[in-house]
Amino acid sequence: MSNQALAEVILTSLPKLATGKVRDLYDVDDNTLLFVTSDRISAYDVIMKNGIPHKGEILTLLSAHWFNELPKRVPGLRTHFLATDVPSNVTIEEARVIRNRSMQVRKLKVFPLEAIVRGYVTGGAWKEYKDQGTVHGMRLPPGLKQCDAVPGGPIYTPSTKAPAGQHDENISKEEAAKIVGDRYAKRIEELALKIFIAGQEYATERGIIIADTKFEFGLDEVTDEVVLVDEVLTPDSSRMWPKDRYEPGRDQESFDKQFLRNWLTENGLQGKEGVEVPQDVLEATSKRYLEVFQRLTGKSLEETTLG
């Protein structure tokens, strides 16, 4: 496998619909989209100047793994995932570039919400708890330590899904219901919690704690069903900790991009544009992503990729 990061994917065979921080979105046909995941990495809503080798492959193939696994564990769960096969109308050269970092998905109407689930008091939740004794405005018992599990189990803390260049904002469940409608809001919350708990149980068996995550959902307008979309339970969208080194009362070692966030914060680069990440930080982050991939899937990235 090449250790060169692929920061930009140029694909001319299909119409491009959107460019995100990490993914590019293409139109395949009337019912199908193509997600192509680059090796770009963002932190604090800013894209770094250089990328993480293999990151696009890891996020794509790990999401595909979860899309196949989670419906077995969450009755009634539907996802947008179709296949990791490259569409037939892509050129041979372009297919070589996007193989293992692209997935075909169903076209759906995406709800403008980030469905965030928190299982542990960490990150912004810990800061709010220290200051106010609450997480997302919800009162928690006094005396909790940093990275303690949320008493009573995971909680749902939605936010807006802001347009590119803007920041998501935390909102109440009532505000979420005003945006998407009460029935859909309740189903999104129900599914988000069930998926998170199922993912936690699966990961715990493999020595990983999933502390929190964000999901996205879409609407199948034909069947009126809420459907899991985007990526799912990856080190980009979730905080993941090694179970054998977990210790409440401190920040945790992580398999996710918290390592990069910490480096940015320590060097006064939080939220700064055009940051070039040193090679040792890139390699350490890549190593964490590769390890969590192998633990969760049971195979190395090399064993999983399609050649």
Q: What distance in Å separates the CA atoms of residue 47 and residue 36, rounded to the nearest whole number?
A: 17
Token pair for 218: 């879409």
Query: Would you say residue 298 has pLDDT above 80?
Result: yes
Question: pLDDT tens digits for 194-209?
Answer: 999 999 999 999 999 9
Kindly state the average pLDDT of the residues 266-279: 90
Residue in 215, 206, 209, 281 with CA at minimum distance from that of residue 242 = 209
In the predicted structure, residue 44 carries a pLDDT above the cut 90: no
pLDDT band at 88 (very low <50, low <70, confident <90, very high): very high
Residue environment code for 244-258, b if the CB has 16+ CB neighbours within 10 A, otherwise e: eebeeeeebebbbbb
Q: What's the pLDDT band for 1 if we cut at 50, 70, 90? A: low
pLDDT of 299 higher than 70: yes
Percentage of the chain lying above the pLDDT 90 cut: 79
Mean pLDDT (the chain) is 93
User: DSSP assignment, residue 100?
Assistant: T
Against a cut of 0.85, is the pTM above it?
yes
**Which domains are delineated in the chain?**
16-107+268-304 (3.30.200.20), 110-263 (3.30.470.20)
At 135, is the pLDDT very low, low, confident or very high (cuts 50, 70, 90)? very high
CA atoms within 13 A on the CB side of 240: 30
> How far, in Å, CA of 272 to CA of 288, rounded?
24
pLDDT at 306: 58
Residue 164 has pLDDT above 60, yes or no: no
